[in-house]
Structure 1
């Protein structure tokens, strides 16, 4: 009876074919079915397993059912909402700050200055303030529904023998060969002894320190010892405060990105310093060390990837490689690691070659560019490796590390919107690369092609293989499809170029969708600055609405803008103001009137002629007029249609704006048109482009054209003031709670004065929140109950808009 019962349980247990074969073999030998028990343990977790994800989600104000998701049939029956509805409901909670004072005090106890934890706001189920913008379907981080796992991150462990010295901002450690160390956060790394590998680069001892960004939105870079003195390498890690972490005060997308509370390794290295000391980075042994309980994974490259990078880098100055493949296959990661590998500052004694000419990086992916905001293709000349995702270097300042030689605004995140203009832009960038080779003959070329690999995208890719003079083609997918791999292989054979097929390496857990990463990158772009004398950029958490705009004349004797274009659609000139106000535009310089394609005698004639020889701004810009320099800016007379507000609408082509000719145009960057002042005929622009660049452009006889493409509206800029106001209130409540805890005074003569001052300050801060929430295209819901969510949803449906899904894998999420 006992044996029969055991056999019955064994047959009912799920197992694989291999396990079943082993079970039959053991059963024939009259042994106990131990393998069945092992299979049960592997396939199902123990009933008393601690639920770390549940505790973490309760801390973040997300209910267990929303985060854990359906795991069994019974839970699937209970969860009747669709994935899109679940994500929308989750986003409403993730983006919103709390309103109850008890929750505020709890949150303030966890937050400190810019070096404190990156902890999100606590949220309750009934009292959550929600912010909804125009198409806010991608304005908050996405949650994963899988259970957290204790995943190993570092092989090395810190102890008194491996820690050389440490203080509140610095940590110097030894790392043994074939051992690695994973860090989360921001830090400067200085190699003192030995050789380490980091994000594809091999770093040797030098006096130069490299800035590393390791956010939780991407797989963590791993510091690995390649070789060292006595089998050990010595590295110094130092905290850095550049303002990037403070962007969490103006956007929920930047919350839960950097390191949280001190880990066990941090506490071991912070002995003897202040109790509340925290660095901007944390050492993690496993993912369970993360206080915010996020899905953290180290980035270990596939062996085929590493072998391919090594083989490609051996071609040195003769390297011309095109990296292509389907979307989400790892093209950008491979290109970034290959770029760092080629730019590794190896000493001359290692292989007899020193890369002094840098690397040319031709980025043809307008949806996810590496060194510029979305909507552009460009050619960059880089001379140092970069360690971090794109939102940590959204622009280059032309320093010794790298510069953008030429860029063209495509006006969309996909080149399929205008393939002809895309191909012409590529041809011009190739001409720029040939000019670069005249100065740097040993400059390799890395081409990053978008995931637009079907249809016309395949035609463009095969055309590039035939005309680029490549040395290699890398395709990032072993699964084909054949209708893509076949033509690419044929084109490579005809061009006598070897083609390497590598396995794709997608990310297992995604905390931000592609649209969210684009939003983070462009927000980082507008808040970044490159102060003179600093090798690394800085970021400001001041909302754009509180920054000083640049005022540019669009009409009159001192006109600074030659024209305004709208790509991809035909609009009535009377609607131009509504189309451009509050929109993102490209600031493009043109060299000649031939830049405007479609110029003919049949083009509409301007209703008025204006000189455009000077740009005025609220900032002090020192410039001379073009007439004084003996230069004349390109004339757009005959193509400009003056709107009722006197806006210079470039109405070229057959009924719509034809794109600018790439041969005589260059994109300087992006700007947001904050307002159109019809009384003074000025445009107020918010842009990170230095004023000196705009002044030099006009001094050299070029004209400036603003191009409105099909990029998403800057909804993040609308809600910045609201989130900033909430953050200011939280910080003040934190100060009050800290003073009460320490029994200190806020500066008044007595307790009554302190309370009166605190009450008045809180009233002013909450009035700021109220004003910030009363803006167009944004809805604040103080009560997050189901009824209020339905009311807000009905209100939003009354507006004409295009909504986008925010969860990874959505059909509308395309990474072109």
Structure 2
């Protein structure tokens, strides 16, 4: 091939034929001023600016730099490339580097590289450097030149869906059976195709096998609700070639579908039915504006062309955008979970003596909660019920923050934590996002929950279902631990392992080599008898820059208070929220009124500083506070109700919280108001079903606070109006404007300071 050197040689020869004297040739417009002979300092007109010593000392260097381009062009007549060959053999791997180097060399010959007076990465040269022998050499900073526009390669956005939707070929719209029935769409997938959907929908596998968020789903009559907001990684649907369809042909469709779909389905490997899911969860974005329209594409991506599936609550995503991230399951997660799953044809009686407790541990932001949710969903494919013990106070899976809870789950959960709040089977209120202020109460609460699991759930057999082959005689336990792995957190983590005595431990590799969570191999034995499985940590998602841990904690708290739980939930599992009522803000909802003399036995304040609250001032500390609704066993609570007057609350200063071994937390409530006279009454807002409120006779107040978003009125928030009919300046517990006192002003940070070497 013809090299760039030969091409440059031909261009120089053509230019010499036109101008035999290169020095007399007119330079480019940018070099016209540099061609003039240098003038002395005395011949220059006096300048109005005052020159510094460094500027005066650098005059000689500047004159030499200006003369350098003329001397360079004067030597251009002597072609240095005449002695070289015209043809140079270049490998294909070096083609791009040769082309880019020739382009940069051509620019160097045409015009000299401009010098910079100051660089943020290199110190300025002082006057003493001008006396060195290198003064005639031009100062050139080594920085890459920008490539031409035709050479810049723009990477396309990564594809989220390999499925190519075509209406009436692999996408079919179904007419609703009635006016109130949701719309339906049927998708026909081939093996290996992926589908990414944003929004809320229900999924039913009619034929074949798919994986959703790493969980395998086969054809059944079960409908799975899916919540896929932009604030969390999007679950991906992937078609898998099942053994039954590959060996024995296509299985029949479960429900009776139209003939046009039945005729097209034999050419595909899986048939899915998608339906709209109207639960009101989208209204949480109006309350917490950080998550506004998180179940829909962002406003700067809504105008992008996309295929319409005909459903109002979901959107088809073909390619990834900066604010959308897919849920990726690493291979080590599949391998680790596969080693603990029971075989499909195993006799469940042989599993009775084996341990079925799985603990997930590791540092924060490693993917523990996502892995624990995946492990829970995988176990539900082999067991009818799975228990979930939440030890992370800051990022709980089924309850708001500040609680340790034991939940019993019967169906897989597909969505972030705020999409499936529950009424736990048993829980205890710590009242903070960290156990650092009450470590003993934290450990005692976990010990009470694990004892309850062994006594009531571990070997609680259920009646066998006719079409369900899952194991019913064993309820495995998944334990999600906190990410505090240093200092006191490491000591608490070891205590938790001693209390739970897990059979399998999934440990995440820590970013630092000296962290104690690192293990040598993929699996090894634990001193306590558990098998340790090492899994890789996932890199931080790009969504972390949009939504912080505090944002997720706020939306979980607000989702809990606006959730609607079923009133007649089964006793075998923890009821999950089925809808969300966001028609009114919390400040406008009618509360429950509690007569403290007849319905309240004790009021307890926990947390730092609460021991200083005297009984005469407790009614000032309760308004706007979060309290736990606690039920205690009869005879275990020491109450002074006989000495309490009707106008005071049953509060004892410095009283400890109820013992976790003799009490349970039913849920949280918000104290909307207190009326101490003439009879003490409390106004409470709580989503706990009314059938359970009669058991709660103890209120425990901790350090948790309601997010500010929950105190505002979203109906008038855009216009800056009142809050539930009250002017902004008269709203209690809230203050607009700047803070008062020392430290109330916003801290100012200077970022224009230079290092010593840059001065």
Q: Secondary structure of the equivalent of 2:486?
A: coil
Query: Mean Cα displacement is larger for which, 173-182 or 483-492?
Result: 483-492
- Residue 209 of structure 1 deviates from its aligned partner by 0.9
Q: Secondary structure at the match of 1:710?
A: strand
CA distance in 1, matches of 2:362, 2:723: 52
Distance 1:433 1:768, change over 3 A: closer
Q: Which residue of structure 2 aligns with residue 310 of structure 1?
A: 338
Cα deviation, residue 265, structure 1: 4.2
**What is the 5 A alignment of 1:128-147?**
none
CA deviation after TM superposition for structure 1 residue 588, in Å: 1.0
Match of 1:158 in 2: 165
Whole-Å separation in 2 of the counterparts to 1:5 and 1:295: 47
1:333 to 370, 374, 379: 370
Post-superposition offset of 1:313? 2.0
SS where residue 355 of structure 1 aligns? coil
Q: Aligned partners of 1:657 and 1:329: how far apart in 2? A: 38
Q: Is it true that 1:648 corresponds to 2:668 in the alignment? A: no
Which blocks of at least 5 consecutive residues in structure 1 are unaligned? 7-26, 41-72, 75-146, 271-277, 289-293, 345-353, 397-403, 595-633, 698-702, 731-764, 781-791, 806-816
The answer as to 2:658 corresponding to 1:637 is no
Instruction: State how far apart, in whole Å, the 2-side matches of 1:414 and 1:209 are.
Output: 37
Is the Cα–Cα contact under 8 Å of residues 183 and 284 in structure 1 kept in the other structure?
yes
**Residues 426 and 175 (structure 1), Cα distance of their counterparts in 2 relative to 1, 3 Å cut:** same
Return the alpha-carbon distance in structure 1 between the equivalents of residues 639 and 303 of structure 2.
60
Higher mean alpha-carbon deviation, 151-160 vs 299-308, is at: 151-160
Aligned partners of 2:387 and 2:409 also within 8 Å: yes
CA distance in 1, matches of 2:230, 2:369: 18
Q: 2:443 aligns with which of 423, 433, 439?
A: 423
Deviations 1:222-276 (A, max 9, x none): 0111235465111111111111112223221230301244864433x44xxxxxx
Tell me, in whole angstroms, the C-alpha distance in 2 between the residues paired with 1:370 and 1:247: 18
1:571 equivalent in alignment to 2:571: no
* Of 494-503 and 29-38, the range deviating more from structure 2: 29-38
**Matching of residues 524-539 of structure 1 within 5 Å:** 524-532=559-567, 537-539=578-580
Structure with max Cα Rg = 2
Q: Is the 8 A contact 1:565 1:708 kept in 2?
A: yes
Mapped to 2, the partners of 1:212 and 1:422 lie a distance apart of 33
Distance in 2 (alpha carbons) for counterparts of 1:559 and 1:423: 30
Q: Within 2, Cα distance between the matches of 1:714 and 1:209? A: 34
Check if 1:174 corresponds to 2:165. no
Distance in 2 of aligned mates of 1:481 and 1:151: 33
Partners in 2 of 1:711 and 1:487 — Cα distance?
A: 36
Whole-Å Cα distance in 1 between the matches of residues 387 and 427 of structure 2?
13
| Equivalent in the alignment of 1:691 | 690
SS in 2 for 1:191: strand
Deviations 1:138-183 (A, max 9, x none): xxxxxxxxx9972321121111421133569322101211221000
1:526 & 1:38 partners in 2: Cα distance?
64
Q: Displacement of 1:543 after TM fit?
A: 0.6
The residue that corresponds to 1:194 in the other structure is 208
Name 1:509's counterpart in structure 2.
543
Quick check: 1:726–1:769 contact (8 Å CA) kept in 2?
A: no
State how 1:19-58 maps to structure 2 within 5 Å: 29-30=89-90, 34-36=95-97
The change in CA–CA distance for 1:536 and 1:681 in structure 2 (over 3 A counts) is closer
Deviation at 1:766, TM superposition (A): 8.4
TM-score w.r.t. the length of structure 2 is 0.66
Match of 1:551 in 2: 593
Question: Residue 199 of structure 1: CA displacement?
Answer: 2.2
Partner Cα separation in structure 2 for residue 199 and residue 379 of structure 1: 24
Aligned residue among 682, 703, 711 for 2:704: 711
1:249 and 1:684 map into 2 onto residues whose CA distance is 25
| 2:282 corresponds to 1:245 | yes
Q: Secondary structure at the match of 2:199?
A: strand
More helix per residue: 1
1-side partners of 2:743 and 2:273: how far apart?
A: 54
Are the aligned partners of 2:196 and 2:316 in contact in 1 as well (CA < 8 Å)?
A: yes
Q: Which residue of 1 aligns with 2:508?
A: 476
Matched, 1:224 2:232: no
- 2:716–2:723 Cα contact (<8 Å) kept: no
CA contact (8 A) 1:675 1:683 kept: yes
Q: Is the partner of 2:554 in helix, strand or coil?
A: helix
Q: CA deviation at 1:365?
A: 0.7
TM normalised by structure 1 equals: 0.62
Q: What do the CA deviations read for 1:548-587 (whole angstroms, capped 9, x no partner)?
A: 10111123xx243432333333123133222221111111
Q: Is the 8 A contact 1:478 1:501 kept in 2?
A: no
Instruction: Determine the C-alpha separation between the residues in 2 that align with 1:543 and 1:383.
Output: 32
**Counterpart of 1:393?**
420
Work out whether residues 510 and 518 of structure 2, in 8 Å CA contact, stay in contact via their aligned partners in 1.
no
